[in-house]
Amino acid sequence: MKSIVLKKSLLLSFFSMLMAVTVMAQDKPAPASPAQVATGTIKGATVTINYSSPAVKGRTIWGGLVPYDKVWRAGANQATIFTTDKALTIQGKTLPAGKYSLYATPGEKEWKIIFNSQTGQWGINRDGSTTDDASKDVLVVTAKPVKSSETNERLVYKISDKGFALEWDNLSVPVWVK
């Protein structure tokens, strides 16, 4: 009789521990830079921007976390992906329909926006440099950053019929499409 009670007690303990482990495994913390998708229409083209959205967290972003005059993955984690189903004209230059990694070179007064044909890579190398391979840049245009009307704790991309904008912290970087 003691053996049956002992077996039941051990079995009950085992299932209790199993349930506790299962419940704890479901409490994953939210990712530091969650994946986001911006979708919209620009001049009749359907545009999608897939990116990871880092937060300010009290840090100096422009000229600090994101240095000036150095290529940046325009988001966090994997390289940001820009997809268009029709060709777009940006600053008089044609961006063919397709899927591109989107990089940027921030500057205090002017940014370079880079559309690169290589996709699917992590946004940075082990040494901290970006994975942008300049030989695969399809289009490079400039954009003028402007002070945001509001502070954005998280990086966000906004798409309108006039183009798209990267907005983060106290800055907006509009890219106009004609």
Q: Residue 147 has what pLDDT?
A: 96
Residue 30 banded pLDDT, cuts 50, 70, 90: confident
Q: What is the C-alpha radius of gyration for the chain, rounded to an integer number of angstroms?
A: 23
Buried b (16+ CB within 10 A) or exposed e, 83-98: bbeeebebeeeebeee
Residue 60 CB contacts under 8 Å (≥ 6 apart), including other chains: none
Provide the sign of the torsion angle of the four alpha carbons 134, 124, 63, 91, taken in this order: positive
Question: Quick count: other Cβ atoms within 10 Å of Cβ 127?
Answer: 5
Q: Residue 130 has what pLDDT?
A: 82
Q: Which of 155, 162, 172 is nearest to 38 (CA)?
A: 155
Cβ atoms of 105 and 67 within 8 Å: the answer is no
pTM of the model: 0.83
pLDDT tens digits, 141-160: 999 999 998 999 999 999 99
